[in-house]
Structure 1
Amino acid sequence: MNLFADIRATVLDALTQMQAEGTLPDGLDFASVAVEPPRDAAHGDMATNAAMVLAKPARLQTRAIAEALAAKLLADPRITAADVAGPGFLNLRLAQDVWQALVKAALVQGTEFGRADVGKGQTVNVEFVSANPTGPMHVGHVRGAVVGDALANLLAFAGWKVTREYYINDGGAQVDVLARSAYERYREAHGLEPEIREGLYPGDYLIPVGEALKEKYGDTLLDKGEQVWLADVREFATQMMMARIREDLAALGVEMDLYSSEKALYGTGKIEAAIQTLKDMDLIYEGVLEPPKGKEPEDWEPRVQTLFRSTAHGDDVDRPVQKSDGSWTYFAPDIAYHFDKVQRGYDQLIDIFGADHGGYVKRMKAAVSALSGGRVGLDIKLIQLVKLWKNGEPFKMSKRAGTFVTLRDVVEMAGADVTRFIMLTRKNDVALDFDFDKVLEQSKDNPVFYVQYANARVNSILRKAREAGVDVSDATLAAADLSKLDHAAEIAVAKKIAEWPRLVEIAARGNEPHRVAFYLYELASDLHGLWNRGNDDVSLRFLQDDTATSQAKIALVRAVGVVICSGLGILGVTPVEEMR
């Protein structure tokens, strides 16, 4: 039950009637007509911009449209007031029983309350994490993993069919470096001094790989040249690293639907097929690029390369796909990989990239646009850095990793639920500070505690009611006389609950799961505020002498709990029933 969508439908019906009556001309586009919460709650419950967006195309005065629309809307028993304000906004006030009905809807629908169908069953592929299989995942991957997984949950909740995908970057030179690093640990397992020279991976995490290599190969690889062992060690080490990555993701509560390999694109004709497809569209040519901006001429030399005409699909410059020596650029397998996703029939693609991939956004969007004929959209979310703090100082790097703090370090210190929630308390393109002390403290300033405390409070109220002999089953609460919820503070909480279905749609359309975390904090704040007001106003306490009144008030509390549990489910966080 999306009340805002329902009222918008009522507004559109009224506008259609005005057209039929000749008050408005035919042929107007109502797509930009919105119904949303007013900026100032004192102005009303909802506001519509209908008069403002229609005045110019209708060639009518804004106020005239607003007043005529107001007269139509007042015929709806749910709308008690419709006031024209400012340049033409129409502020609406709704009857109390409308908000009371929202409480019942939340109880009847349970965690399905707020579920949307804006996706309409379309298929979407969310690619995230995609860390190089050269070591354990670091804290930057944590944020990308949480954002990607929560986004996938959100889209599924809003009606999309979602595939979570991990792209294994196992086709580049970095996996050769991994093999050489693992070989040194293999030598170390045989009692030899490892030569961790510059350019190799120094972390202790490769010691078990070396020991496993010894167990499999014995001493048969010792003192042999790379041509003997490189391919086998590379495959073995990559598999072990991917097994660890899967374990790390599981510790964070992330499970992928599909793992795709970059290496599988080479030698299979897939890269060549993707480039040929672009060539058939006259989007591949031989040419020389302009020198990069900001570089001196001596730092660059012109050379003929095979280029993708990405400027034809919105990019700033054309991009090389094949070097002058005939080898593929890094961009070529990325094109082939996304072509594969297009061919699998997805309606939408989403990539979650690190902030250092900003230069890939336009070129990848251009490639997908070209390869899909504009049918498939690609949204790329860039994940900004996470700064770790403890005891007021930057948190030091992990000795096990050698150069960084690992995902496992963070989860072991803060817990998966806390980690996931905190990673969503900022929009993905804003840097985030993760303070181990603050994320574990029990205060209003800690959003995850504040939300979990609200849910624990809901359960505490339910337990106390049961102990007092009050029936607080969802069916009984849904059938309660909710007209007893008549205090402004109670109605305010019901109004916040009413925003949940709208919030789901907005967050899903914008691929913005952080909005769910923001909303849950606001809802928790409203519940805590109502609780605190009950300390001074006995009539606002949830347990009253009259059972019917108690059940009405507890119905409101339970509805808050329903929405919190639903929202936490989208974030991948387990609701806490009792704070300890």
Structure 2
Amino acid sequence: MNNHIDLLFNYFNEFADDSIKSNYLDSFNRKSISIDFSSKSRQGDVSSNFYLVAIKKILDKQFNLKEELLKGIHNLSFIDKCEISKNGFININIKKKFLIDQVEYLLNQQNQFGKSNLGNGKKVNVEFVSANPTGPVTIAHMRGAVLGDVISSLLSNTGHEVTREYYVNNAGSQIDILGKSLFKRYLELHGEKTELSSNEYPGEYLIDIAKLIEKKDEDKWLHHDSSQKENYFKDFAVKYLIEFIEQDLMLLNIKFDKFSFETDIVSSNIISDLFKILDKKNLLYNGVLEKPKGDDSHDWEPREQLLFKSSEILDDQDRAFKKFNGEWTYFANDAAYHLDKYNRKFDQLINIWGADHVGYIPRMKSVLKTISGEDDYLEIVTCQIVRLIKNNEILKMSKREGNFITLQEVYNQVGKDSLRYFMVSTKSETSMDFDLNKVIEKNKDNPVFYCQYAYARASSVINKADDLGINIKSFN
């Protein structure tokens, strides 16, 4: 059953199509048409700017736009009253019977309301969060986490088969540093003095992890000089932190179907498979990259390495596929991970990335276009930064420096509903300020409070009806 907003949009579009076809109106951007709920009763139930948009596009001066528009709207079966105000907005009243039928339909639909089979079983992989497992989930990750979960839910409810996935970057220098930082905390528990270097992690959460190792292994690792020790502390930290991240995200009802690990990609043959695909298409060559822009260091020197011809596809330059020492680059590993997702027979890949990865998008889309043959097989949605504000002051955060605000801390202050709502209340491409004071205010300026208040009032009406023996579903 279509609601009155959809029906009005359909009518305005049909009116525009017919008028343009008859050369009464010039074509215009339909996205500029808006229909809004009215805040004042004299402005009807809803109001629209369609007349204001269309009148600027009149080609035939004999065409009475106002008269034709009102006549058509009045002929719609669900319209009670309609007028165009002095300021040009169309104010519309909806028939009460139509609105009651809408409520009855909604009640009968229950949790099926709004669902469809639009996707027809299309398999979609949504990868989001994928934060380095070097610490707890922070406010910086929350926006992408909620956005990814909301997109996944929308797809699931429109007939898509969705996999929510987290890619764990557990290889590389940051994890090496994490393991060394944890080992120093372990040494401190055994009375040894240590000093963290500027690039190591000082967060107190590592002390808690070190205590778990100390309880389990006692002094086993004090005089253990081997790669086994390094791998043990790295793996222990990653395992613990991933479990910690999972628990934190569950506070927001976010649950992943799959965790993929970078180390599994590195140790598999998938990178070799990708190499063969790109090499067969003549997209790899040995060459020299230009000096990075803004790099004023004197120790840079041109060196030959394996490059990917991404500039021939969607990028503005070619990209390193192997390091100077012959190891695969992070880009190569990441591209191989996306080949792994492609091999799992997904019809569409969607990634939620931070805005700091914008420059990385063309090279990755170039790889996926090469693999799939489709321009938009990989869709990437970017999230701008979130600034946390408390008492009118911006809280500065850095995981490396150990001063950051965790998801759990914010959750404890504002709750799940406020967090989820405000993280998707503005376009993800724009930065947002998350004011801890404002999101817990209980007044008309807080939309979350209004939603919760409306729900509480509706529940109160239902409970009152039950007490009086009234069956709301049969009410007419």
Q: TM-score range by the shorter chain?
A: 0.7 to 0.9
Does residue 476 (structure 1) correspond to residue 448 (structure 2)? The answer is no
Deviation at 1:38, TM superposition (A): 4.6
SS at match of 1:201: coil
List aligned pairs for 1:75-114, cutoff 5 A. Answer: 77=77, 96=95, 97-114=97-114
Does residue 272 (structure 1) correspond to residue 289 (structure 2)? The answer is no
TM-score normalized with structure 1 length? 0.68
Greater RCO, 1 or 2 (C-alpha within 8 Å, sep 6+): 1
Deviation at 1:239, TM superposition (A): 1.0
The amino acid of 1:476's aligned partner reads S
Distance in 1 separating the partners of 2:148 and 2:363: 21
Percent identity over paired residues: 38
Structure number with the higher helix fraction is 1
1:457-494 per-position Cα deviation (integer Å, ceiling 9, x unaligned): 22223334445x261x34213xx1xxxxxxxxxxxxxx
The amino acid of 1:148's aligned partner reads G
Distance in 2 separating the partners of 1:11 and 1:388: 42
- Unaligned runs of 5+ residues in structure 2 are 85-89
1:265-284 per-position Cα deviation (integer Å, ceiling 9, x unaligned): 11322112112212222222
Maintained 8 Å contact 1:346/1:376: no
Q: Which residue of 2 aligns with 1:200?
A: 200
Q: 1:301/1:98 Cα in 2 relative to 1: closer, same or farther (>3 Å)?
A: farther
Distance in 2 separating the partners of 1:147 and 1:108: 29
List aligned pairs for 1:527-542, cutoff 5 A. Answer: none
Does residue 242 (structure 1) correspond to residue 242 (structure 2)? The answer is yes
1:249-301 per-position Cα deviation (integer Å, ceiling 9, x unaligned): 12232111100001101132211211221222222222223343445595753
Maintained 8 Å contact 1:390/1:435: yes
TM-score normalized with structure 2 length? 0.82
List aligned pairs for 1:511-550, cutoff 5 A. Answer: none
Deviation at 1:48, TM superposition (A): 8.2
Greater displacement, 306-315 / 253-262? 306-315
Q: 1:342/1:2 Cα in 2 relative to 1: closer, same or farther (>3 Å)?
A: farther
The amino acid of 1:278's aligned partner reads L
Greater displacement, 278-287 / 67-76? 67-76
Q: 1:69/1:378 Cα in 2 relative to 1: closer, same or farther (>3 Å)?
A: farther
Distance in 2 separating the partners of 1:160 and 1:343: 18
Distance in 1 separating the partners of 2:34 and 2:104: 21
Greater displacement, 285-294 / 143-152? 285-294
Q: Which residue of 2 aligns with 1:258?
A: 258
Greater displacement, 72-81 / 107-116? 72-81
Does residue 149 (structure 1) correspond to residue 149 (structure 2)? The answer is yes
Q: Which residue of 2 aligns with 1:343?
A: 343
1:524-558 per-position Cα deviation (integer Å, ceiling 9, x unaligned): xxxxxxxxxxxxxxxxxxxxxxxxxxxxxxxxxxx
Maintained 8 Å contact 1:368/1:377: yes
List aligned pairs for 1:63-212, cutoff 5 A. Answer: 77=77, 96=95, 97-212=97-212
Q: 1:289/1:396 Cα in 2 relative to 1: closer, same or farther (>3 Å)?
A: closer
Deviation at 1:304, TM superposition (A): 2.1
Maintained 8 Å contact 1:355/1:385: yes
Deviation at 1:375, TM superposition (A): 6.9
1:151-172 per-position Cα deviation (integer Å, ceiling 9, x unaligned): 2112222332211100000011
SS at match of 2:259: strand
Maintained 8 Å contact 1:133/1:170: yes
RMSD value over aligned CA atoms? Answer: 4.0
Q: Which residue of 2 aligns with 1:431?
A: 431
Distance in 2 separating the partners of 1:196 and 1:210: 15
SS at match of 1:351: strand
List aligned pairs for 1:371-390, cutoff 5 A. Answer: 371-374=371-374, 377-390=377-390
Q: 1:214/1:456 Cα in 2 relative to 1: closer, same or farther (>3 Å)?
A: same
Maintained 8 Å contact 1:274/1:336: yes
Distance in 1 separating the partners of 2:36 and 2:299: 54
Q: 1:75/1:349 Cα in 2 relative to 1: closer, same or farther (>3 Å)?
A: same
Q: Which residue of 2 aligns with 1:521?
A: none
1:319-353 per-position Cα deviation (integer Å, ceiling 9, x unaligned): 11112321111111110011111111112211111
Deviation at 1:428, TM superposition (A): 1.5
Deviation at 1:130, TM superposition (A): 0.8
Q: Which residue of 2 aligns with 1:452?
A: 452
